[in-house]
Structures are given as C-alpha cells and as structure tokens.
Structure 1
Amino acid sequence: MEEELTYALITPYSLLKSRTGGILGRLLSLSNLEVIGATMFAPGDEFVEKYCETIGEQEGKSSWKEVMINYINSSLRKGNKFGITNRAVLLFFKGHNAIKKLKDDVIGPISSFQGHTIRGSFGDYIERSDGTVEYFEPAVLTAADHNSNKKQLKLFTDYLTNDGGILENIVSFSEGAKPETTLVILKPFEKQSPLPGNIIDMFSRTGLFIVGIKLLSMSIAQAEEFYGPLVGIFEEKLKPKPEKIAAQLREGLKSIFSFEIPDVTINEHATQLTEQLKGINAKHEFNKIVHYMTGLDVAKATEAEKKNPGTARCLALLYRGPNAINEIRNILGPTDSKKGEPGKVRRIYGEDIMKNAAHASDSVENAERERKIIGLWKSESVKELKTLIEDYLSNK
C-alpha cells in the first residue's frame, strides 16, 4: 500500500489556551504515523478564502461544511473574532492510510465528545435545539478525504513562504516590554512518543509564545558546530585528576618493578599525563554527544557523510517573550538531571547530564548562533517543507 502525506493544523485558539503540548502529544503518539515536518503558520486572507473553497468541495454533510467554513473565516484570519494572533502549528505526517487514520482515529469528528480523540478532549461543539451551532472549536484542522488533502497540500506549498515560518513579529507586547527569542531543542525521541508534547505542556507555564518550530535531524557537521564550544569546557571540567592517575600508575608499576618508584617521579608523570589526556578525553566525550544528537557514529563517517541528516529526530522550538532565556531555563532545571528540583523538566524526563530531555540557549547571542546552525533563523525550514510537499504531489 502506498504511503500518504497529510497534515494537522493546531488552531490559534488551541495555542492561546496552551493546549499545544497536549494536542501534539496525541498527534505524535496515537496515529502510528511518522511526523516528517513542522512549521508555524499564520494564514493570510487569500489563503483562508482558497482553503474554504476546498472545504466546500470536500465530501461530507453540507451543514458540517458550513460550520467549518464559518469557523475558518472567523478564527483563522488576522482580524479574527477572538482578537488574537492567528499563529498555528502545522505538522505533516506520512504513512499507510494516513488521511483516514489521522482524521478518524486521532483527531475525531467535528461533533465529537469522546475523550479518546483530540477533538473530544480539546475541542467544543454546542448545538442549539433547532439544530444550529452555537459554538464550535475543532482544536485541529486536517483533510477530510484524498481529494481535499491534495488540494490543501498544494495550497500550503503556494503560501508557506508568505504565511509560514518564524513568526517573531506578529506577537505584540505591552509598552516597555523587552521580548527575547530563545531556542529549545527537545532531544531525540522515539516514534509514537508523547514526550515532546509533555515537555511543551510544561513550558506553557512560562506564558511565552511559540513563534517557531522545526522537526530536526541534525547532521554530524551541524552537531559539531553547535556543540563546538563544549570542547574547551570539557578539557578543564572533565580533566583527569593527577592524584587519581598517580594512584593508578603506582599500583600498575608495582607488578613491573620490585622496588618502590619515588613519589616525585610518579607525580611528575601523572601531571604530564593529565595535560596530555585532557584533550583526548574532551574529544571522546564530545563525540558521544554528537552521536547521541545525530544517531550517527562520528568515527565511521566520511567528510561528505557528515553533512547528511542524522537518524535521530529532535524537535526545535522558538519561544518569545520578556526574559524568555531565564524563564525557559528555570522550567528546564540544571544540566545534571539528578540535581534538579522536583517538577523541573530535566528532573522528570532526563536520565543524566547528556540525555537530559532538552537543550535551551543560555543567551540571546547564543540563541542566534544556534538557530543559524540548525536552519531556524529565517526561511530555511519553510523551503525544506515546501520541497517535501512538492515532491510528494509530483508523484501523485
């Protein structure tokens, strides 16, 4: 059976109410589909009008299509009824029978009250006694059938460049506020894991706005540049202690010589070894991080292969708001998961210093440097997604 490509659009109202993490956790864990791309999307009026046309042409009851069209017109435009930014999270999924699985098994019908579906848990549908709809919030939008899926995917390729990508400038703040944008990378997660959604849900406590998102398969070259500053830190922080090396030397030399080696000789060589080995040790620990973040063995990769996307999947996000750097790092907790206070992300989801659930930038300057490395600076990620969709549609 041929694999299908489809999408899920988490609505602006869902983002406003901090339901993003819960919805994303369901989307990732329940469908048995592979998420292959993510971006922010703020629909322009032209996109909204053409998207509504595809709704009118799709399969289904005319009354339900009317409800959906009314919702899209009133809630997805920049000038919407809630008076909020029309930021939405757009995700793309691939797999066998993906359209039906996502629509029926995970997202659910528009009038669902069953909590096992996304709309049952995060959406609302209130119908008056005369059959008219009083209130409707679908939580997530997706394609209803194969024909509309194809048309809507085509629409995204047409408007991703203008309406999608990084949305730092559409969120307004009170006068005098000094917003920052920080980068968060949710470290490698397995297929059908709700972990990214759970962590995003915890970050919602900060009140910061998600203004960028990207599914990331970091290459070795990217990881080496990204974590490059750690080598110098590791050389001093992880430098072997001379007294420990001296003790090992003393013990080992006993089996070779029948006389006591003078302490001054052992200590002198231990000090030399400490300096000689600190760089090797630092590089060894550094390569372990690169391997973890990419899924690729640095030692076995050629220079050309180091530029290829890795096999490990991460999720990169941009959060924006006053004091964003410190707000995120406070929720995250210290680098060593075991030293964090109860309730911190790394204390709950981390394993050790390396596998500690997430990375967060420690300054605005580093956030900019890191974003440029992973392609979450301007429009790079949107171009990648556009190519991905166009390649799929060209083969249909």
Structure 2
Amino acid sequence: MEHSLSYVLVTPYTIAKSRTGGVLSRLLSRLDIELVGAQMFAPDEHFVSRYAALIREQHDGDNAKTSELLADYIEQNLSPSQGRRHRSLLLIFRGEEPCRKLSEICGPVQAERRSIDSMTGENIRDTYADLIMDSDDPDHVSYFEPAVLTPRLQSTSDLHLKMFADWLPDEQNIVENMVYPNPSKVQRSLVIIKPDNWKYASSKPGTIIDMFSRTGLRVVGVKVHRMSVAEALEFYGPVKDALKEKLAPVFGRKAKEQLEAHFNITLSSDTEQALSSSVGIEYAVDQFEQIIEFMSGIRPSQCPLEELNQPGSVKCMILIYEGEDAIGKIRDVLGPTDPLKAPGGTIRREFGSNIMVNTAHASDSAESAKREMKVVKIHDNSCGDIMRSYLAMHA
C-alpha cells in the first residue's frame, strides 16, 4: 500500500500544561507509521484564519457542527492574544493509512456522552481533552479543548499539509514569544534524544520529554534530525582529545599487565608509555568512531568523502529548552554521563545503558549550547521539504 503523510498538531494548551510528552508517548508506542518531522511554531492571524476556513470547508467525515466547533476553537485558541503568539507543535507522520491510524489513537472530537466512570483513557483525547456541555442546554458546548488536531481523511490532510508547507518556510524554527522578568538569567539548552530511543515503537522519547517537563522550562524549538557524519564529527570533536587523554593511558597500562601475565616478564614504564601512545591511542580513536557511528549510523573511516554531509541512517530528536538556569536544570534531570552513577529518578538512570548509549545529550554550558545549535543547524527544519516533496509526488 502507498505511503502517505499526515500530521498531528499539539495545541497551545496541551503544550502549556506540559502534556506534550504524554501525547508523544501514546503516538510513538502505538503506531506502525514513522515520525519524520516535528516543528514548534507560533501561528499568526493569517495562518489561523486560513486553517479555520479549511476546517469549515472540508467536513472531513465529521458533521458540520463538529467542523464548526473545531474551526471556532482554532480561531479562539491558536490566534495571538495581547500581541503574543502561542506555541503549537506540528508532528508529521509517514506510512500506510496515516489518517486512519492517527485518528484512532487521537480519538473522536465528540465522543458519545457518557459518565466519568465509563471513560477508559484509551486514546489521547480520552486522557487530555475536555468537552463540557451546558447543563441547562445539552446541545451547547460550554468548554472545549481537543488536546490535538488531526485530519480524518487523506484529501483533507493533503490540503492542510499544503497550507503548512506554504507558511512554515517564513517562520523561525525557534519560537521567541516570551518576555522574561530577568532576561539576564535566561539560558537555552540543546537536548538530543539519541538514536537508541527510535529503533522501535516506544514510549521512551515521550517519557523523556515528560521527565524534562519537571524543570519548568519551555520547549521553544523541535526538529527530527538525521545527523550526518560531518555534523557528528564536528559536534563531538571536543570529545576526541579527551578520550585520548583519558583512555590511552588506561589501555596502555592494561596492555602492559596482560603482556606481563601472558609472557611472565616485567616490562618497563617506557614500554607502557609506548603501548599507550600506540595501541592506547588507537583504542581511543576507535571509541570515538563508535560514538560517531552511534549518532550518524556509519563510522567516519567507512564513509566515502562525498557522503560525509549526507543525512545519517539513524534519527534523533533535537529540542531547545529555554528559561532561567536552563543548563543546570536540564542536566540535573538528565543525570551524569554514566547511567550507573546517575541518581534514581534521572533520565539516564531510568533509560541509559552505558556511557555512550545513555539515552540523551544536553549542553554542559551556554557556550556549548550555542556551538551545538550551530552544528546541527537548529534554525533549519526539514518539515517544509518533506511536505513539499510529498505533495509534488501526489500532485
């Protein structure tokens, strides 16, 4: 069956209530379609007007009343207020029948009226959405929060994707919509949810985001990324010399001990130094190559020069967190590099396996965050290209 694209839009209210991780956990753990793009954006009046108009024009399998309810919600809650735009998160999925599968997991907009005791929390809207009817007028909605928006029909999805593809290229990939009382204390931290979290359908990426939410920081940028070998080499470049300095002497000493035990001889300190400078350095370089392979999918020594800048074969998710003392708060929740030394309740203790496969990366300083954002081209996002390529193929 043909692969198509569809989307889920996480609403400003869901983001503000730090429910993004929970929503993502539901989507990623129960889908056999792939998350191929993500972008945080802040709609303006023109976008909101166009989006609401499309909802009203295309009933999308719903009745006119439901379409009107959704359109009204978009106009009232996605529009800027008091001169400030509000964050929404676009998630793009690719696979067979994405609209049907996403609609089933998100749940209906207007479920049948039932008692609280009969609700199961099976889908996203069961858990995170609200639909409250007026007690005096059962046909009047007094409060509505859908939590997420997703089209039910592929034809509708394609129209919406074209709208996103036309609008997003002019928008920044980092949302700047907040005025802080103490701007000098505000930092940005780059977080990478590493490739080991994306090997199979799993709630881990969403759970990691949910754990980071206890920092009280705001997510202002998101992208799904496939790190090239060149990017990985630049990103982890500072680690290479540190690995040589740390690992080469250890390996040299162990090599000396092994040789002494095997041949029943005593070797000099000069020999240990020679072992450190030769096989010890090679061991450290091999460890560095393993890091690059882990993040990009291929070892630098095995990558043709013409492919160094090509997107890697494994994916990760990059998030930008913003707020006071963002660097320290994120690293406290993440835990130290070695998961075995991480305190209970930290992300690495919960999900990490070893020093390399430690589930996530976070900037260790404001300066590092700026450097890392530049390396991964945080201001670029592939969402627009993905949608335009898909639409061109299905024109």
Q: TM-score scaled to structure 1, two decimals? A: 0.92
Deviations 1:139-184 (A, max 9, x none): 11112322321211111011102345211x2122124552111100
Inter-partner Cα distance in structure 2 for 1:343 and 1:212: 25
Inter-partner Cα distance in structure 1 for 2:21 and 2:85: 18
Aligned mate of 1:182, from 173, 179, 189 = 189
Inter-partner Cα distance in structure 2 for 1:340 and 1:283: 26
Match of 2:247 in 1: 238
Match of 1:249 in 2: 259
Q: Structure 1's 143 and 271: CA in aligned 2 closer, same or farther, altered over 3 A? A: same
Match of 1:32 in 2: 32
For residue 351 of structure 1, give the secondary structure of its aligned residue in structure 2. Answer: coil
Alignment map for 1:48-127 (pairs within 5 Å): 48-59=48-59, 60-79=62-81, 86-103=86-103, 105-112=104-111, 114-127=120-133
Inter-partner Cα distance in structure 2 for 1:172 and 1:207: 16
Deviations 1:293-337 (A, max 9, x none): 122233322111222211212111000001000000000000000
Match of 1:21 in 2: 21
> Which letter does structure 1 place at the counterpart of 2:383?
L
Inter-partner Cα distance in structure 1 for 2:225 and 2:389: 19
Aligned mate of 2:388, from 387, 390, 393 = 390
Range moving further from structure 2, 117-126 or 304-313: 304-313
Alignment map for 1:206-217 (pairs within 5 Å): 206-217=215-226
> Which letter does structure 1 place at the counterpart of 2:16?
L
Match of 2:115 in 1: none
Q: How far has the Cα of 1:85 moved from its partner?
A: 5.1
Q: Could you tell me whether the CA contact under 8 Å between 2:43 and 2:85 is conserved in 1?
A: no
Deviations 1:207-261 (A, max 9, x none): 000000010111111111111111110111112345433322323434xxxxxx5
Range moving further from structure 2, 273-282 or 229-238: 273-282
Inter-partner Cα distance in structure 1 for 2:224 and 2:367: 22
Q: Could you tell me whether the CA contact under 8 Å between 1:12 and 1:86 is conserved in 2?
A: yes
> Which letter does structure 2 place at the counterpart of 1:124?
D
Q: List gaps (5 residues or longer) in structure 2.
A: 112-118
Q: TM-score scaled to structure 2, two decimals? A: 0.92
For residue 307 of structure 1, give the secondary structure of its aligned residue in structure 2. Answer: coil
Q: Could you tell me whether the CA contact under 8 Å between 1:243 and 1:267 is conserved in 2?
A: no
Match of 2:146 in 1: 138
Aligned mate of 1:198, from 207, 210, 234 = 207
Range moving further from structure 2, 19-28 or 239-248: 239-248
Q: How far has the Cα of 1:353 moved from its partner?
A: 0.6
For residue 187 of structure 2, give the secondary structure of its aligned residue in structure 1. Answer: strand
Inter-partner Cα distance in structure 1 for 2:134 and 2:171: 35
Inter-partner Cα distance in structure 2 for 1:55 and 1:243: 69
Inter-partner Cα distance in structure 1 for 2:158 and 2:387: 10
> Which letter does structure 1 place at the counterpart of 2:236?
Y
Instruction: Count residues in correspondence.
Output: 380
Match of 1:294 in 2: 296
CA RMSD of aligned residues (A): 1.8
Q: Structure 1's 177 and 251: CA in aligned 2 closer, same or farther, altered over 3 A? A: closer
Inter-partner Cα distance in structure 2 for 1:181 and 1:171: 13
Q: List gaps (5 residues or longer) in structure 1.
A: 255-260
Q: How far has the Cα of 1:203 moved from its partner?
A: 0.3
Identity %: 39
Q: Could you tell me whether the CA contact under 8 Å between 1:40 and 1:164 is conserved in 2?
A: no
Inter-partner Cα distance in structure 1 for 2:374 and 2:183: 28
Q: Structure 1's 290 and 43: CA in aligned 2 closer, same or farther, altered over 3 A? A: same
